């Protein structure tokens, strides 16, 4: 199933849980560590994972699957167990500040750039369920390299504003998200991409700008990831797209977006999108980000009071410069006020489903919204 659970945070959490379970099932192993000066230490290695960045993609490797690591300057060759078979990969060690463990001299740790060699004294143990995954897609890179893949996912900041998960393209007026289980192929050229896919039972295509996203999955070298903004990935083709067998039905439209250029865009399942900024501390640094919400209400200020109206009670919203909005209800009541773009009572845009896919549109790109089925 090619479906992403949600954004980067939950992927990291789930990966961490899987790594913890894997580590708990494996016995600890001793390794001989040689640093850049030639000093040798025997270490009981603490498990975890690290990343190897190759020319085209990144590979995440579990330390409890490693046979040896040999470094030369900024480059490392890692021999490890992947899908139950010994393999090797060469690239730059990333995303690990220290290799650590216990030695005869107490706690031990060494930075990757100070490591010359790490060799485990015993081989890794093959666990159950480590067979090669059933590949259902092919990635093609700019230098011609190809890689079969399974369980391909996509994640990026632009996808957080949607209620679903998939690949995001940016058109002139709005963003479109296409679930990966609907995709036939993705062709990337610079910052532009063409996606062929099945929507509402029909094969279609869309071309637009591709915001920063990360394509991840499982390949011959294990769990991999590649950033679309790096310019390395050229094409993703799904060999068995499930959506080709789907009949699909056009949903009932419940609103029409009138864009700034006058374009009328029917949408279904319309929702208001808001966001707020959050911060947290990991004990060392204060970090933060944006959290997005999808709601069935619209809030605006009438003088010093705030009115909250359900979208199903609205007839029209007419947006004006200066965050002004005229709200007309189905019962005939109308009022002009101001909307906010901050907090859960604000609005940064609207999401829904249109003939091109799941959409998000910034409120500044909307002239008006007419609620109810489109008028013929």
The conformation of residue 160, written as its DSSP 8-state character, comes to: G
The pair of structure tokens assigned to 39 is 């000093």
Q: CA-CA distance, 100 to 207, in Å (whole number)?
A: 47
Domain ranges of the chain: 28-120, 137-245, 255-371
What confidence category does residue 241 fall into, taking pLDDT thresholds of 50, 70 and 90?
A: low
The whole-number pLDDT of residue 27 equals: 58
Please count the residues of the chain: 376
Q: Give the separation between CA 138 and CA 239, rounded to whole angstroms.
A: 7
Q: How far is it, in rounded angstroms, from Cα 345 to Cα 324?
A: 15
**pLDDT beyond 80 at 325:** yes
State the number of CA atoms in the 13 A half-sphere of 335 facing the CB.
16
Q: What percent of the chain has pLDDT over 70?
A: 90
The predicted-structure confidence for 203-232, as pLDDT tens digits, reads as follows 999 999 999 999 999 999 999 999 998 899
Instruction: Decide if pLDDT at 68 tops 80.
Output: yes
Confidence of residue 18 (pLDDT cuts 50, 70, 90): very low
H-helix or E-strand spanning residue 20: helix 7-25
Q: What is the pLDDT of residues 98-108, one digit of tens each?
A: 999 999 999 99
Q: Would you put residue 16 in left (φ > 0), alpha (ψ -120 to 50) or beta?
A: alpha
More confident residue, 165 or 20: 165
Q: Would you give the DSSP letter of residue 343?
A: B
Q: How confident is the model at residue 21, as a pLDDT?
A: 41
């Amino acid at each position: 199933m090619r479906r992403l659970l949600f954004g980067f945070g939950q992927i990291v959490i789930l990966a961490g849980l899987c790594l913890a379970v894997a580590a708990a099932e494996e016995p600890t192993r001793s390794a001989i560590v040689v640093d850049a000066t030639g000093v040798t230490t025997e270490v009981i290695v603490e498990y975890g994972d690290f990343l190897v960045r190759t020319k085209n993609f990144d590979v995440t490797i579990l330390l409890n699957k490693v046979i040896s690591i040999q470094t030369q300057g900024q480059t490392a060759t890692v021999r490890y167990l992947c899908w139950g078979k010994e393999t090797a990969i060469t690239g730059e060690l990333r995303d690990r500040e220290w290799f650590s463990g216990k030695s005869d001299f107490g706690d031990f740790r060494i930075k990757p750039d100070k490591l010359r060699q790490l060799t485990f004294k015993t081989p890794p143990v093959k666990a159950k369920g480590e067979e090669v995954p059933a590949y259902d897609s092919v990635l093609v890179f700019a230098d011609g390299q190809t890689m079969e893949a399974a369980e391909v996912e996509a994640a990026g900041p632009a996808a957080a504003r949607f209620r679903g998960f998939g690949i995001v393209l940016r058109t002139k007026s709005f963003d479109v998200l296409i679930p990966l289980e609907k995709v036939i192929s993705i062709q990337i050229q610079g910052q532009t991409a063409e996606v062929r896919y099945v929507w509402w039972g029909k094969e279609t295509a869309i071309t637009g700008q591709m915001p920063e996203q990360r394509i991840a999955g499982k390949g011959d070298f294990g769990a991999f990831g590649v950033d679309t903004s790096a310019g390395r990935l050229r094409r993703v083709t799904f060999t068995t797209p499930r959506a080709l067998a789907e009949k699909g039905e056009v949903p009932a439209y419940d609103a029409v977006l009138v864009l700034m250029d006058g374009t009328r865009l029917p949408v279904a399942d319309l929702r208001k999108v808001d966001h707020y900024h959050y911060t947290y501390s990991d004990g060392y640094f204060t970090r933060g980000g944006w959290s997005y919400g999808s709601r069935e209400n619209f809030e605006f200020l009438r003088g010093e009071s705030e009115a909250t109206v359900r979208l199903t009670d609205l007839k029209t919203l007419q947006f004006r410069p200066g965050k002004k909005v005229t709200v007309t209800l189905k019962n005939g009541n109308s009022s002009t006020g101001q909307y906010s773009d901050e907090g859960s009572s604000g609005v940064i845009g609207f999401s829904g489903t249109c003939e091109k896919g799941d959409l998000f549109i910034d409120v500044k790109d909307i002239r008006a919204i007419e609620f109810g089925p489109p008028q013929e």
